[in-house]
Amino acid sequence: MSPIISTISTAPSRRLAARLPFYYGWVMLPIAMLAMIATSPGQTFGISIFNPSFRLSLGLSHSQLTGAYMVGTLLAALPQPYIGGLMDRFGIRRVMFIIVILLGMACIFMSQVSNLLMLFLAFFFLRVLGQGALSLLANNTLAMWFQVRLGTVMGMMSAAVAGAIALIPPLILLLINQFGWRGAFAVLGVIVWIIMLPILLFLYQNRPEDVGQSLDGRSSTETEVAIEEKEEALSFTLREARHTRAYWILLLFTAAWALIITAVYFNIIPIFTNQGLTDANAAATFTTIAVVMGVTQLLGGALADRFRLSWLAFLCMLFIASGVWMLSRADSVALAQLYAVLIGMGQGLFGAVNNTVWVRYYGRAHLGRIRGSVAVAMVAGSSTGPFIMGATYDLFGSYQVSLNLFIVLLLTLAIATLWATPPVLSTDEATVASAPGT
């Protein structure tokens, strides 16, 4: 990793931080939002707009397309702990700078694919860099700057993701109509570079200490000492985190969310058409989900600062289970929209929990490796969900079987999350045990 990135960006941001009448973390908030939006070329809601073009241009069947996407996404999960380790070692800014460059190159590579193998490789690059690495780094950014208000600011950033889900697909469709699908992907890569690279060079900073400030912008020496002592007590390594009950419950919570939401989104049109609704009815639910998700994430972020995260995780699973149950019975526009509202609320609460729980339970010191291991489960879940749903449909001729299985899984995990309480790191015996906490 070149030290040039660090040298160029430190002076301007330090001068800006010294002149601003407020905490520099509030500058990092919109930067993290932009980084999350920049993951769109590697997200399912972005790639799915290109699927008809892929099939037509490359002469692919549905199974070939979805198979390439599944395997590419599954393999993309493997490097995430390594990327998290690089973050811990070199800092987020340096690693994100390289990831952004590579993501833009992956978009340009996608614009040149001419066969199934190249498409698989493009899927792998987009998923490992966009949905995996850049999402991981963007989420970890605010955890380095906020503690007391972490839930609130994470909720604000998650609202940007909801906005991306609502706005990016129409933008991509516009680019496809204007430049063709190949040109659209190349333009997306250039846009990612133009937006993110100057920000990373001149504004981004890893931690408040890098600009002479303290966590949450607090100036009291006693408060800083208390925060440092709390962080030291929460310096879990990945190995120590894996010895806690909460880690495994939350890992399954994350994987199940990714598996089920991706499966439902990927198959939403055939689910609705099988139940007598139209493609337009299915598309309309995404807008409702985005709006409800954005509002719930703002509210959920504030709740995450005041209530037990295990309770919010419980409610998240209940809302998603209710949404999937409603989807299995949605034979009218009203029921389809009710499904969207319930899923949107569950999505919003998931963002509130997932974006705050890891740093609050396990600290900042090894956050990259810990969240990198979680990203493996998330990416793996998102790769297998559509395949599971498609396989059960081929076997039973209906989506009801997989939807019912999803409901059972969600309700089981809802109960389990009540035991995902804050872990306690025992320094005397070098052992880790889970214990109830607030």
Q: What is the CA radius of gyration of the chain?
A: 21
Q: Give the pLDDT confidence score for residue 219 in this predicted structure.
A: 62
Dist. CA 249–CA 265, nearest whole Å: 24
Q: Is the pTM of the predicted complex or chain greater than 0.75?
A: no
Distance of CA 210 to the CA centre of its chain: 26
Rounded CA separation 427/438 (Å) = 20
Q: 425 has which bridge partners?
A: 432
Q: Please tell me the distance from the alpha carbon of residue 137 to that of residue 144, in angstroms, as a whole number.
A: 11
Domain map of the chain by residue range?
4-222, 234-434
Contact 160, 355 (CB under 8 A): no
Percent of the chain with pLDDT over 70: 89
Q: Which of 25-34, 161-170, 332-341 has the lowest mean pLDDT?
A: 161-170
Six-digit token string for 238: 């990945």
More confident residue, 44 or 247: 247
Q: How do residues 228-287 score in pLDDT, each as one tens digit? A: 545 555 678 888 999 999 999 999 999 999 999 988 887 777 788 888 887 778 777 878
* pLDDT tops 70 at residue 186: yes
- Give pLDDT tens digits for 318-328: 999 999 999 99
Q: Which of 76, 57, 101 is nearest to 189 (CA)?
A: 101
pLDDT at position 10 is: 59
The Cα 370–Cα 429 span in angstroms is 22
Q: What CATH class has 234-434?
A: mainly alpha
Residue 436: which pLDDT band, with cuts at 50, 70 and 90? very low
pLDDT at 11: 60
Q: Which CATH architecture has domain 4-222?
A: Up-down Bundle (1.20)
Look at strands 423-426 and 431-434 and give their pairing: antiparallel
What's the CA gap between 328 and 336, in Å, rounded?
10
Same fold, 4-222 and 234-434: yes
Give, in degrees to the nearest 5, the angle at Cα 141 between 136 and 142.
Answer: 120
Q: Is the pLDDT of residue 191 over 90?
A: yes
- pLDDT at residue 425, rounded to an integer: 65
Q: Is the pLDDT of residue 226 over 60?
A: no
Q: Residue 432 forms beta bridges with which residues?
A: 425
List own/partner pairs for 147-150 with CB under 8 A and 24 or more apart: 147/215, 147/216, 147/227, 147/359, 148/216, 148/305, 149/216, 149/305, 150/304, 150/305, 150/355, 150/356, 150/359, 150/360
Cα–Cα dist 293/351, whole Å: 9
The pLDDT, as a whole number, for residue 435 is: 38
Phi/psi region, residue 431 (left: phi>0; alpha: psi -120 to 50; beta: rest), is beta
> How many CB atoms are closer than 10 A to CB 148?
12
Q: CA triplet 187, 192, 195: central angle to 5 degrees?
A: 120
Residue whose C-alpha is closest to residue 143's, from 85, 206, 193: 206
pLDDT at 2 over 60: no
> What pLDDT shows up at residue 346?
94
Residue with tokens 């980084």: 35
For residue 32 the two structure tokens come to: 């993290």
Please tell me which residue, 25 or 428, carries the higher pLDDT value.
25
C-alpha to C-alpha distance for 254 and 276, rounded to whole angstroms: 32
